Structure 1
């Protein structure tokens, strides 16, 4: 059972910011860093220089092409964002999010926290893959936080409320990669059937479905059942 959340940086741009984020993590005892498509490639010597002794976080960082790959093993994702989104998800402040994360981790679940790139943060398509949103009550006239500051806030709240995990039975929650495979299966079947019409609305319709699946507490059995149901529907249609 992992005892801490995974910090997932989505399309980070500057190596210096990755290094500063690693330093913030280690300040508060977090070591599981994951990177989604870092702009300047990986490894990055500028990240190492800025980490200032937190190189073991960088040395252990996993790199993936997309969120599903970076979040492998996780079954619950928080998405950090500075602005409201037109997506129906639970919204937490950092303290509440980390309280919920501790409860889930105490049950044996795997939790990840998504942080967006420096230029624009997380896209709606990224947020749609998370189960909940984290926002910070910053000054509305100047709501700009850099990447390392965001990581620092979440890491601090994790450390501040850390307690001995309680033993609890872990629910058989489907991991992110299983939900991602099912979402792609669902989209492909609907695509084949001509559901996404007119074409200009297809992107929004797919995003709505992605958000729908991420809001549901799907178990592994749920996902397997849905895969089987889709296959059977196709067989009956083509038979």
Structure 2
């Protein structure tokens, strides 16, 4: 993998990709602009995929080193900050950034040694709300509103190009110097609160429970919690429960 003095390169995470050809084309787009950390979440046709290898045409090493995961939580477990690419409006409240602003932030995070991931959804329908809920921010490309569908590899190319273009000055020092909680730390915090809220009967009525849980998961990620925030919230909840025992 390509190593840089600035810090770890972003992980390009393809969520439930459907066609091997698109995975191969995405690998080419990544390597064109110096990115080589690909992660695949539940690829439809399994892995390895000969069609992906044929399309990669010189970028096979990106595919060879690709991580394959059963679910998105596993793919993001070591990540500190996650961007989700989507062209559709969402009910989930999150910062919405242009590719330029997003990769400006990504460069700043990289400079601080943080691990960044960029999510891309399946070709047919893109990311689902459950996927987007795990991201800190949404990235939307200003495309034609009457025809906003981009090919998977095109989407990867746009983000990879912007990453490369932002390689000069590093901005957002405050953001870069923040010790964000990792995705797995935020996930465990959500598990802790969800379990206790479940026990307290918070998720009522049952028909709305799934939506309520999704909103809470999105909230934890959207807050951009630091490691100390997560530790403090765990401690607060434990103390509240201890006092009621």
Which TM-score applies when normalising by structure 2? 0.91
Whole-Å Cα distance in 2 between the matches of residues 59 and 184 of structure 1? 34
The answer to whether residue 227 in structure 2 is matched with residue 220 in structure 1 is yes
Whole-Å Cα distance in 1 between the matches of residues 53 and 170 of structure 2? 32
Q: Is the 8 A contact 2:12 2:119 kept in 1?
A: yes
Shift of 1:164: 6.4
Whole-Å Cα distance in 2 between the matches of residues 236 and 16 of structure 1? 57
Q: Is the 8 A contact 1:109 1:170 kept in 2?
A: no
- Number of equivalent positions: 237
Deviations 1:43-88 (A, max 9, x none): 1111111111101111111111222211132111111001121222
The answer to whether residue 146 in structure 2 is matched with residue 102 in structure 1 is no
Shift of 1:226: 2.2
Helix, strand or coil at the partner of 2:79: coil
Q: Is the 8 A contact 1:182 1:227 kept in 2?
A: yes
Give ranges in structure 2 of 5+ residues lacking alignment.
Answer: 1-5
Residue equivalent to 2:160: 155
Whole-Å Cα distance in 2 between the matches of residues 43 and 185 of structure 1? 36
State which of 52, 57, 69 in structure 2 corresponds to 1:52.
Answer: 57
Residue equivalent to 2:27: 22
Shift of 1:123: 0.5
Give ranges in structure 1 of 5+ residues lacking alignment.
Answer: none
Whole-Å Cα distance in 1 between the matches of residues 8 and 200 of structure 2? 44
Which TM-score applies when normalising by structure 1? 0.93
The answer to whether residue 195 in structure 2 is matched with residue 185 in structure 1 is no
The answer to whether residue 136 in structure 2 is matched with residue 131 in structure 1 is yes
Q: Is the 8 A contact 2:8 2:114 kept in 1?
A: no
Helix, strand or coil at the partner of 2:24: helix
The answer to whether residue 119 in structure 2 is matched with residue 114 in structure 1 is yes
